[in-house]
């Protein structure tokens, strides 16, 4: 550990405060987290901060879910973005970049790579980025001293860089933990113990964090229970939706004779068996319901990464379902979201996990004002969000027969929904508009960090940071 | 026009994705050619309509030299070896703008093609291929310009080719000089013996060479040379390499019916290897070594088909390598139970669950009794039922995996299949301490009391070492000498978390054997019932018979039961050969009669005056006791496996029944068959003894005490 403590002056004293924001996945990365990262950065700027976003190069995202430059259009031009030349080696698809050893044993090569990476930092695929990230934040701090560092996870390797800046320059930090690290949000249990390497990293970094943000109450509850002495620093900062993604749904009157269009938009990150259940439910519904027999089901979003991008079992299932009027149309640029939603009559909300998973898309689905068919566990946090939505079929689990009933119910809702129903649904979602969610959280952090004229930090805000109540 | 060459190393699971991509390429006006390692017409017919699909030449087409070379090569390199020799691939790779590996098995081939044709893009996966095509279409001029770094093959190709050719040559020389054909030559064998013991050779190479050479020496019929070499190399090898080297030697000796003196060296080596993997938290890799150690320690030649068994002679010493190993300790770790067994509440029947189906020979009277008993409700869990069999499949491997890892999916399956039965039952009775008992103790039995009965063979097997005794409440033995042996072999049976142990003799309905003898001359007929294992040692009976006939030619021997199956093991084969030679003479003179198997044993015993137990080991020997019940005079060999121990045949039966040698047996028979009166009186006394001691009417009380009364302390 270095003995140097804050040798550089802070940027206070009348100037704009400066925050370094570790936000891997920042636009133009076509990732679901990009919206949250963008809004956070914009909110900081709006509250008078200079903000420097540290993310990875655009080529790296091409290997994964690709790029959506329309996402960058709404990034405040005052946000400074630094792209580090870091890429996931395991997703490399250029065979010329392969060693002969990798070409002979690709699985073994990746497994050895992961072992090496995890020796550096205990996180698969990203652990190897530690030193570059550390170097980048330190360099940035030297160039433009930071008053705050915000670390958005995943990847959790960001925590190493966060700690480095704290250790060397005592730069205060907050962790936007989103889904948390030591919690297995899908399985519902502990992902690793406190005495494991990851556990030690997590507890060490959280110990000094000004604030820890989580996306829902169950995750926040988990962390408050795991670290009782940090309970008052753990806050719920939900995901939300962007107004410009919403379609105009007023005055709709779908034609039952032409059939309806159901849509799913998001990453296809669930298991093939999950998708199969939904497709089976769709087929049963088409057999039983003449309107659905004339209807279509469009799936849009990202499927697979690296060499199996759009070439995995999910794709096979979707192609096989083409005879049932199921189609896959690839990702949708942010600028086309509203039009895409607008072309659909009902939405199919496919979500993995249970009570610890909320996801971002539930807010957007809810805010469209279109009927929402839930295809997820009954005990899922999305059910809490959607409760009270007038055009929600309710969660019935993943039994295909019950899902078939939900498809019929959603079709009925789509045909009978009035403008009033749609407006009620939108109104209900309004509390989850992204600025409404993130602005209080950013304000709270600002209050925690910004020195008062007397040089004493302002007292911490007591209000909830972002979990705005209706 | 853009040209693509795709390579598929394995039949794609996603044909729809592939055909969709081919359609997309076609729509873009791209020429696509696909090289496959398999028959495309049979496996991807749809693709053949959308692109020019070509199968790489097969090994058969490329000739035997190629087959040998491919065999030597790393399997991942084999598709490339085929592609390299294919003019179609060479021609189209040269023209291709994009080279695509569609799966991991095709990667190496495309890697090589990419080194040779540097002008082309080389990508892995369909989406990257589409992207590469889009890039080329967007700026075709850029790709037309020749560049220095894309002209001609990469220098790495030459280096790689030279390296692989050198490696291949070295492998060929090694294979030839260590092959079976070479091992037929004395000087070659002599050379390798010197080579594997030469100083300075790294252990991993020494071990590998020595293993191959000994294996081929054995296969070419030079077992002595193989053994000499393996022993010579021992001093220069570590404990984990020594064992695998001696493995085939030990196997070869076992297959000849001999117990190798190196057996335990190999066992220790495998256990050490297993311990190494456990230390690295890799129980999956430890498991095959544990199974191998078990297979050797409890091999039938070692434990069952000899006149003695190292386990019976000194169980603690024989099993010390297992008990002292990490693997042994992991398997012995008690998982315990959440709640103690509960005695059934008053006011409802006692619910008993019996595991049946695997061997119910000794269970009949017990089941009959409790099924007919008011206040007891009996259910049978038939382990041969189709719904249960999948749970038992590959059972030993799964139990070992479970014990080494501490948990397993199979345990969940057992819980799912058997849990409801256990929830129902107050008491579960598992006859035989084998697979059923081991799998049952993978799960917590809740408050159900678990009773297991161990007969005999199990004590000489791995099963008691795979049973979690902290989940068994009562363990029943059928004789004291088996209890002694099991307690010595499985120390955790005596641990505080171990079960209570009981000795309850087999349930036998002996009254049905009490029938009059056909004549006074029956006293000259000796009977031996049950011959199907070598442990019954019928040759000892022949020795007794010969001794008797030396004095009186009226004595004869009746052998009842299935003959020994010589195919079971080389030791049995050798035994049967000698038995048949002896029988040839005795049968022709009428001194021995073989009746074969009969369902009417009481009927078959009516002309038997003397019943023999000639076994090397028994737990109880029901057939002898049944013969005694019939009025035949019992003559029992002091079973050698247990002779001289605190408990043996001599403590189980009245001491005058038991003899040490064939001569002593003959003396007892001559004395007790000297006259009809003496013989009948001795037979009556023996019958009265067995009926009053071991008839089910007597022993059932012991079972009632065990199963129906609240548990007391151990006997």
Q: How many CB atoms lie within 10 A of CB A13?
A: 8
Q: In whole numbers, what is the pLDDT of chain A averaged over residues?
A: 87
**Inter-chain CB proximity A319 and B104 less than 8 Å:** no
Co-location of B625 and B488 in the same domain: no
Residues of A in contact with B99 (CB under 8 A): 95
Residues of B in contact with A307 (CB under 8 A): 101, 124-125, 127-128
Task: Give the chain A residue whose CA is nearest to the CA of B156.
Answer: A100
Estimate to the nearest angstrom the gap between the alpha carbon of A159 and the chain centroid.
18
**Inter-chain CB proximity B99 and A95 less than 8 Å:** yes
Determine whether A9 is exposed, middle or buried from the number of CB atoms within 10 Å of its CB (0-12, 13-18, 19+): exposed
Nearest to B124 among A93, A105, A315 (CB): A93
Decide if A100 touches B, using CB distance below 8 A.
yes
Count how many pairs of residues, chain A against chain B, have C-beta atoms within 8 Å: 83
How far is the C-alpha of B284 from the C-alpha of B177, rounded, in Å?
35
DSSP per-residue codes, A443-457:
HHHHHHHSBPTTSSB
Co-location of B35 and B149 in the same domain: yes
Helix (H, G, I), strand (E, B) or coil at B557: strand
Decide if A104 touches B, using CB distance below 8 A.
yes
Contact B486, B672 (CB under 8 A): no
The helix (H) or strand (E) run that includes residue A423 is helix A419-429
Q: Token pair for residue B212?
A: 């191959």
DSSP letter (8 states) at residue B383: T
User: Roughly how many angstroms between the first and final C-alpha of chain A, as a whole number?
Assistant: 47
Q: What is the per-residue pLDDT for B149?
A: 60
Co-location of B73 and B131 in the same domain: yes
Contact B17, A319 (CB under 8 A): yes
Average pLDDT (A365-369) is: 91
The helix-helix angle for B364-372 and B696-708 (nearest 10°) equals: 60
φ/ψ (deg, to 5) at B359? -165, 105
Listed residue (B651, B647, B634) closest to B686, CA to CA: B634
**Inter-chain CB proximity A319 and B101 less than 8 Å:** no
Asked if residue B82 belongs to a domain, the reply is yes
Co-location of B538 and B661 in the same domain: yes
Selected residue of B14, B25, B103, B113 to mutate for chain A interface (largest A Cβ count, 10 A): B14
Co-location of B421 and B518 in the same domain: no
State which residues of chain B have pLDDT below 50. 713-715
Co-location of B435 and B484 in the same domain: yes
Q: How far is A203 from chain B (nearest CA, A)?
A: 25
Residues of B in contact with A304 (CB under 8 A): 127
- B→A interface, C-beta within 8 Å: 13-18, 20-21, 74, 76-77, 99, 101, 104, 107-108, 110-112, 114, 121-128, 131, 156, 160
Q: Token pair for residue A76?
A: 């405040």
Estimate to the nearest angstrom the gap between the alpha carbon of B154 and the chain centroid.
53
CA distances in angstroms from B633 to A78, B515, B555, listed in the order given: 109, 14, 14
Task: Give the chain A residue whose CA is nearest to the CA of B105.
Answer: A104
Asked if residue B194 belongs to a domain, the reply is yes
**Tens-place pLDDT, residues B224-279:** 899 888 888 888 888 888 888 899 999 989 988 899 999 999 999 999 999 999 99
Residues of B in contact with A312 (CB under 8 A): 14, 17
Q: What is the per-residue pLDDT for B611?
A: 97
Identify which of A6-20, A179-193, B156-170 has the greatest average pLDDT.
Answer: A179-193
Helix then strand then coil, in percent of chain B rounded to 5, is 55, 10, 30
Co-location of B655 and B616 in the same domain: yes
Co-location of B518 and B627 in the same domain: yes
Listed residue (B69, B56, B64, B181) closest to B110, CA to CA: B56
Listed residue (B436, B474, B510, B477) closest to B714, CA to CA: B474
Rama region for B109: left / alpha / beta (φ>0; ψ in -120 to 50; rest): alpha
Q: What is the per-residue pLDDT for A470?
A: 28
Residues of A in contact with B110 (CB under 8 A): 95, 103
Nearest to A100 among B15, B16, B111 (CB): B111
Instruction: Using the predicted structure, report yes or no on whether residue A400 has a pLDDT greater than 80.
Output: yes
Asked if residue B171 belongs to a domain, the reply is no
Rama region for A176: left / alpha / beta (φ>0; ψ in -120 to 50; rest): beta
If one counts the domains in chain B, the total is 4
Average pLDDT (A67-84) is: 92
Name B500's bridge partners.
B474
Q: What is the per-residue pLDDT for A435?
A: 85
Residue whose entry in the numeric block shows the structure tokens 């290997």: A63
Q: How far is B125 from chain A (nearest CA, A)?
A: 4
Q: How far is A328 from chain B (nearest CA, A)?
A: 12
Co-location of B182 and B157 in the same domain: no
Helix (H, G, I), strand (E, B) or coil at B621: coil
Estimate to the nearest angstrom the gap between the alpha carbon of B248 and the chain centroid.
17
Asked if residue B699 belongs to a domain, the reply is no
Cis amide prior to A28 (ω within 30 degrees):
yes
Co-location of B665 and B519 in the same domain: yes
Average pLDDT (A176-205) is: 89
Decide if A316 touches B, using CB distance below 8 A.
yes
Selected residue of B128, B163, B281 to mutate for chain A interface (largest A Cβ count, 10 A): B128
Asked if residue B535 belongs to a domain, the reply is yes
Name A213's bridge partners.
A176, A235
Give me the domains of chain A, ranges plus CATH numbers.
Answer: 18-92+118-239+434-449 (3.40.50.2000), 243-431 (3.40.50.2000)
Residues of A in contact with B16 (CB under 8 A): 315-316, 319-320
Asked if residue B343 belongs to a domain, the reply is no
Decide if A320 touches B, using CB distance below 8 A.
yes
Residues of A in contact with B74 (CB under 8 A): 104
Residue whose entry in the numeric block shows the structure tokens 């049946």: B356
DSSP per-residue codes, B575-596:
HHHHHHHHHHHHHHTTSEEEEE
- Boundaries of domain holding B269: 176-310
Residues of A in contact with B101 (CB under 8 A): 95, 307
Q: What is the per-residue pLDDT for A6?
A: 38
Listed residue (A437, A447, A434, A439) closest to A469, CA to CA: A437
Last residue of a domain, one of B254, B283, B310: B310
Report angle CA B349, B351, B356 to the nearest 5 degrees: 145
Contact B5, B112 (CB under 8 A): no
Name B658's bridge partners.
B636
Q: Token pair for residue B707?
A: 């199963």
Q: Token pair for residue B160?
A: 């790689």
**Inter-chain CB proximity A309 and B128 less than 8 Å:** yes
Q: How big is chain A by its Cα radius of gyration, in Å? A: 23
Q: Which residues of B600-618 are buried (b: 16+ CB within 10 A; e: fewer)?
A: ebbebbbbbbbbbbbbbbb
Helix (H, G, I), strand (E, B) or coil at B712: coil
**Tens-place pLDDT, residues B35-90:** 999 998 888 888 888 889 999 999 889 998 889 888 888 888 899 999 999 999 99
Helix (H, G, I), strand (E, B) or coil at A80: strand
DSSP per-residue codes, B71-101:
HHS-GGGHHHHHHHT-HHHHHHHHH-SEEEE
DSSP per-residue codes, B96-150:
-SEEEE-SGGGHHHHHHHHHH-TTSEEEESHHHHHHHHHHHHH-HHHHHS--GGG
Task: Give the chain B residue whose CA is nearest to the CA of A103.
Answer: B108
Handedness of CA A363, A365, A366, A367 (dihedral sign): positive
Q: Token pair for residue B295?
A: 């297979």
Selected residue of B8, B79, B108 to mutate for chain A interface (largest A Cβ count, 10 A): B108
How far is the C-alpha of B98 from the C-alpha of B5, rounded, in Å?
6
Percent of chain A with pLDDT over 90: 57
pLDDT bucket at A259, cuts 50 / 70 / 90 = very high
Residues of A in contact with B114 (CB under 8 A): 95-96
Decide if A109 touches B, using CB distance below 8 A.
no
Determine whether B299 is exposed, middle or buried from the number of CB atoms within 10 Å of its CB (0-12, 13-18, 19+): middle
Residues of A in contact with B160 (CB under 8 A): 100
Co-location of B157 and B190 in the same domain: no
Residues of A in contact with B112 (CB under 8 A): 103
Helix (H, G, I), strand (E, B) or coil at A75: coil
CATH number for B456 = 3.40.50.2000
Q: Token pair for residue B643?
A: 């002779």
Task: Give the chain B residue whose CA is nearest to the CA of A305.
Answer: B127
Name A56's bridge partners.
A84
φ/ψ (deg, to 5) at A241? -125, 160
Decide if A238 touches B, using CB distance below 8 A.
no
Co-location of B497 and B533 in the same domain: no
Nearest to A95 among B16, B18, B124 (CB): B124
Q: What is the per-residue pLDDT for B145?
A: 61
Task: Give the chain B residue whose CA is nearest to the CA of A92.
Answer: B124
Q: How far is B203 from chain A (nearest CA, A)?
A: 24
Nearest to B125 among A96, A102, A307 (CB): A307
Nearest to A103 among B15, B21, B107 (CB): B107
- ipTM above 0.95 for this complex: no
Decide if A319 touches B, using CB distance below 8 A.
yes
Q: How far is B265 from chain A (nearest CA, A)?
A: 33
Residue whose entry in the numeric block shows the structure tokens 């598992």: B430
Helix (H, G, I), strand (E, B) or coil at B332: helix
How far is the C-alpha of B19 from the C-alpha of A155, rounded, in Å?
36
Decide if A312 touches B, using CB distance below 8 A.
yes
CA distances in angstroms from A92 to A67, A102, A308, A309, B96, listed in the order given: 16, 11, 11, 12, 21
Asked if residue B238 belongs to a domain, the reply is yes
How far is the C-alpha of A344 from the C-alpha of A264, rounded, in Å?
9
Last residue of a domain, one of B454, B470, B503: B503
How far is the C-alpha of B379 from the C-alpha of A175, rounded, in Å?
59
Helix (H, G, I), strand (E, B) or coil at A372: strand
φ/ψ (deg, to 5) at B271? -65, -35
In sequence order, which residues have a C-beta less than 8 Å from that of residue A74 and are 6 or more positions away? Answer: A27, A38, A42, A242, A244, A334
**Inter-chain CB proximity B110 and A316 less than 8 Å:** no
Instruction: Using the predicted structure, report yes or no on whether residue A457 has a pLDDT greater than 60.
Output: no
In sequence order, which residues have a C-beta less than 8 Å from that of residue B541 and are 6 or more positions away? Answer: B526, B528, B557, B559, B612, B614
How far is the C-alpha of B343 from the C-alpha of B711, rounded, in Å?
8
**Tens-place pLDDT, residues A313-327:** 898 899 889 999 999
Asked if residue B132 belongs to a domain, the reply is yes
Listed residue (B351, B272, B667) closest to B658, CA to CA: B667
Residue whose entry in the numeric block shows the structure tokens 């004293």: A13
Q: What is the per-residue pLDDT for B166?
A: 82
Task: Give the chain B residue whose CA is nearest to the CA of A63.
Answer: B128
Among A62-71, A233-242, B114-123, B497-506, the range scoring the smallest mean pLDDT is A62-71
């Amino acid at each position: 550990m270095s003995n140097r403590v804050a040798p550089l002056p802070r940027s206070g004293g009348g100037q704009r405060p400066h925050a370094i924001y570790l936000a891997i996945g920042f636009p133009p990365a076509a990732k679901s987290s990009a919206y949250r990262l963008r809004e956070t950065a914009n909110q900081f700027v709006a509250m008078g901060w200079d903000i420097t976003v540290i993310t990875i190069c655009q080529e790296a995202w091409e290997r994964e879910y690709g790029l959506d430059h329309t996402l960058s259009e709404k990034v405040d031009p005052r946000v400074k973005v630094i792209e580090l030349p870091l890429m996931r080696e395991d997703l490399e698809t250029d065979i010329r970049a392969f060693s002969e050893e990798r070409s002979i044993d690709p699985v073994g090569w990746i497994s050895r790579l992961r072992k090496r990476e995890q020796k550096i930092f205990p996180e698969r695929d990203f652990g190897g980025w530690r030193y570059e990230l550390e170097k980048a934040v330190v360099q940035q701090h030297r160039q433009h001293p930071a008053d705050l560092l915000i670390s958005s996870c995943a990847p959790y390797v960001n925590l190493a860089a966060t700690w480095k800046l704290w250790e060397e320059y005592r730069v205060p930090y907050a962790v936007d933990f989103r889904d948390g690290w030591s919690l297995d949000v899908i399985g519902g249990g502990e992902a690793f113990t406190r005495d494991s390497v990851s556990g030690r990293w997590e507890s060490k970094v959280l110990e000094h964090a000004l604030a820890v943000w989580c996306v829902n109450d169950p995750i926040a509850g988990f962390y408050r229970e795991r670290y009782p002495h940090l309970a008052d620093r753990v806050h719920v900062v939900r995901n939300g939706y962007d107004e410009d993604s919403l379609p105009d749904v007023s005055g709709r009157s779908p034609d039952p004779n032409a059939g309806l269009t159901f849509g799913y938009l998001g990453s296809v990150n669930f298991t093939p068996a999950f998708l199969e259940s939904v497709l089976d439910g769709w087929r049963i519904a088409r057999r039983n319901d003449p309107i659905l027999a004339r209807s279509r089901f469009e799936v849009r979003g990202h499927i697979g990464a690296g060499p199996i991008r759009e070439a995995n079992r999910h794709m096979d299932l979707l192609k096989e379902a083409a005879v049932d009027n199921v189609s896959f149309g690839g990702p949708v640029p942010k600028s086309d979201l509203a039009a895409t939603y607008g072309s659909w009559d009902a939405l199919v909300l496919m979500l993995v996990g249970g009570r610890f998973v909320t996801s971002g898309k539930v807010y957007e689905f809810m805010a469209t004002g279109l009927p929402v068919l839930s295809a997820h566990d009954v005990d899922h946090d999305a059910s809490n969000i959607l409760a009270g939505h007038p055009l929600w079929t309710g969660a019935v689990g993943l039994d295909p027969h019950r899902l078939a009933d939900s498809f019929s119910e959603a079709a009925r809702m789509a045909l009978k929904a009035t403008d009033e129903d749609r407006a009620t649904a939108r109104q209900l979602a309004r509390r989850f508009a992204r600025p409404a969610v993130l602005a209080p959280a950013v304000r709270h952090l600002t209050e925690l960090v910004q020195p008062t004229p007397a040089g004493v930090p302002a007292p911490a805000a007591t209000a909830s940071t972002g979990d705005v109540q209706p | 026009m853009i040209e693509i060459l795709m390579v598929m190393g394995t039949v794609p699971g996603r044909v729809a994705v592939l055909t969709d991509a081919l359609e997309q390429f076609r729509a873009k006006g791209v020429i696509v050619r696909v090289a496959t390692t398999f028959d495309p017409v049979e496996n991807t017919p749809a693709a053949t309509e959308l692109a020019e699909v070509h199968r790489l030449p097969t090994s058969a087409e490329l000739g035997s030299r190629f087959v040998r070379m491919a065999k030597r090569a790393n399997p991942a390199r084999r598709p490339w070896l085929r592609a390299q020799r294919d003019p179609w691939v060479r021609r189209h790779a040269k023209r291709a703008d994009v080279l695509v590996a569609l799966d991991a098995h095709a990667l190496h081939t495309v890697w090589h093609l990419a080194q040779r044709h540097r002008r082309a893009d080389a990508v892995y996966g369909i989406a990257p291929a589409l992207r590469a095509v889009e890039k080329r279409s967007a700026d075709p001029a850029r790709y037309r310009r020749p560049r220095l770094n894309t002209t001609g093959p990469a220098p790495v190709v030459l280096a790689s080719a030279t390296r692989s050719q050198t490696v291949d040559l070295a492998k060929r020389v090694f294979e030839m000089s260590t092959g079976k054909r070479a091992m037929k030559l004395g000087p070659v064998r002599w050379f390798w013996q010197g080579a594997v013991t030469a100083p300075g050779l790294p252990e991993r190479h020494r071990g590998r060479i020595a293993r191959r050479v000994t294996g081929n020496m054995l296969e070419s019929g030079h077992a002595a040379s193989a053994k000499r070499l393996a022993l010579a190399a021992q001093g220069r090898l570590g404990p984990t390499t020594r064992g695998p080297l001696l493995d085939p030697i030990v196997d070869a000796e076992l297959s000849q019916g001999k117990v190798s003196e190196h057996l335990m060296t190999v066992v220790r080596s495998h256990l050490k290897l297993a311990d190494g993997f456990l230390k690295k938290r890799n129980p999956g890799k430890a498991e095959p070594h544990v199974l191998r150690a078990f297979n050797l320690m409890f091999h039938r030649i070692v434990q069952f088909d000899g006149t003695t068994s190292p386990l019976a002679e000194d169980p603690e010493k024989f099993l010390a390598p297992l008990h002292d190993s990490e693997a042994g300790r992991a398997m012995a770790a008690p998982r315990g139970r959440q709640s103690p067994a509960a005695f059934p509440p008053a006011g409802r029947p006692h619910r008993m669950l019996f595991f049946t189906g695997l061997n119910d020979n000794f269970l009949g009277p017990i089941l009959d009794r409790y099924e007919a008993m008011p206040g007891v409700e009996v259910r049978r869990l038939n382990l041969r039922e189709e719904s249960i069999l999948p749970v038992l499949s590959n059972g030993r491997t799964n139990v070992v995996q479970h014990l080494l890892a501490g948990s397993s999916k199979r345990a969940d399956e057992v819980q799912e299949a058997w849990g409801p039965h256990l929830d129902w039952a107050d008491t579960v009775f598992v006859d035989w301490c084998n697979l059923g008992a081991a799998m049952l103790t993978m799960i917590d039995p809740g408050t159900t009391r678990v009773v297991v009965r161990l007969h005999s063979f199990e004590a000489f097997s791995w099963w008691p070492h795979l049973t979690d005794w902290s989940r068994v409440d009562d363990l029943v033995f059928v004789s004291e000498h088996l209890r002694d042996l099991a307690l010595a072999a499985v120390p955790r049976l005596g641990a505080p978390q171990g079960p209570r142990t009981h000795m309850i003799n087999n349930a036998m309905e002996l009254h049905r054997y009490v029938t009059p003898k056909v004549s006074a001359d029956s006293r000259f007929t000796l009977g031996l019932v049950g011959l199907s294992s070598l442990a019954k040692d019928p040759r000892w009976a022949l020795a007794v018979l010969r001794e008797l006939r030396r004095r009186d030619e009226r004595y004869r021997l009746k052998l009842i039961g299935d003959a020994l199956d010589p195919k079971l093991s080389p030791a049995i084969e050798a035994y049967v050969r000698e038995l048949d030679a002896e029988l040839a003479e005795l049968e022709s003179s009428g001194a021995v009669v073989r009746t074969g198997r009969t369902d009417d044993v009481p009927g078959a015993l009516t002309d038997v005056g003397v019943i023999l137990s000639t076994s090397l080991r028994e737990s109880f020997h029901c057939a002898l006791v049944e013969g005694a019940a019939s009025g035949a005079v019992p003559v029992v060999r002091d079973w050698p496996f247990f002779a001289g121990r605190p408990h043996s045949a001599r403590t189980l039966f009245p001491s005058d029944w038991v003899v040490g040698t064939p001569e002593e047996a003959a003396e007892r028979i001559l004395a007790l068959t000297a006259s009809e009166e003496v013989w009948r009186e001795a037979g009556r006394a023996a019958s009265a003894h067995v009926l009053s001691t071991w008839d089910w009417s007597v022993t059932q009380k012991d079972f009632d005490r065990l199963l129906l009364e609240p548990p007391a302390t151990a006997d």
